[in-house]
Amino acid sequence: MKRVLFTLCHIVLVAAGSVAQEEPIPPKRSKAAKIGGLFGYTPGWLFVDTKPINDFIVPAKGASLKESGVYMNGIGGGLYIMFVPNLRVGGLGMSGSSKSTSLDGFGMRRDVEMEVSFGGVTLEYVVPIVERLDLAVGTMLGWGGVSLTLRQDNGGSLTWNGEWGNFGNPGSVGPVYNLTRKLSGSYFVYVPSVNFEYALLGWIGLRLGASYVGMALPSWKVDDKYDLLGVPSKVSGKGFMINAGLFVGTF
């Protein structure tokens, strides 16, 4: 999936370069208020701390989640509001996941999937630096969180009678044992960010920057129904993130 996205971005950039000489970029006056807006794809790499989660996965005979971070896919955009010069108001949504799988000597497979997602309203103040290059400083305020899906099975065939047997005796491990649990935490999310935006043409631009994904006021559930108590405070989806973006609009 990542290779496909990067390939598409490469094709767009090559096409933009081929017509750059035919379409001049409108002159940008540093003192003029910016107008219009933009919309596009916003990937990122979130350095989420998975060690507090791995401290529970490994003793439960699962495999550790990677500690290098999570690739995030996102869509974002915004419009300049005229009564505050260079202030851009919009929205952003991002999500990413990491998985691990273990298999013990008895044929029991254990899968763990962690997903981090968030979305909300963005406020950005854009400062022109030089021709084609802007600095955007702002934040996102919204909601999101982290979820852990835990699955285990012994690889056997699932049968109608077997499922009813497990339902009647949930504590027993029969010839077919299958279990899925989802632990999900909802948080208030705030994402301060600093991005550099470069206009390739008058209608297409690139973004590169950094941000911090902060999470507060957690509320945890089991299978989206039952309250989950005793979740360690270090378990969350917060962390620093490297941002990128490919946008269409007015620059």
Q: Where are the alpha helices (DSSP H) in the chain?
A: 2-18, 51-57, 160-168
Using CA atoms, how far apart are residues 52 and 33, in angstroms rounded to an integer? Answer: 47
Q: Confidence band (pLDDT; 50, 70, 90) for 250?
A: confident
- Which residue has better confidence, 116 or 156? 116
Tens of pLDDT, residues 58-99: 998 899 999 999 999 999 999 999 889 999 999 999 999 999
Share of the chain above pLDDT 90, in %: 63
Instruction: Name which of 163-172, 217-226, 236-245 the model is least confident about.
Output: 163-172
Tens of pLDDT, residues 186-209: 999 999 999 999 999 888 999 999
Tens of pLDDT, residues 20-47: 444 444 444 455 678 889 999 999 999 9
Position 1 pLDDT exceeds 70: no
C-beta of residue 67 within 8 angstroms of C-beta of residue 54: yes
Using CA atoms, how far apart are residues 180 and 150, in angstroms rounded to an integer? Answer: 6
Q: Which residues contact 84 (CB under 8 A, 6 or more apart)?
A: none
Shortest CA distance to 180 belongs to which of 112, 99, 106?
Answer: 112
pLDDT (0 to 100) of residue 131: 86
Position 14 pLDDT exceeds 80: no
Tens of pLDDT, residues 99-143: 999 988 777 889 999 999 999 999 999 999 998 999 999 999 999
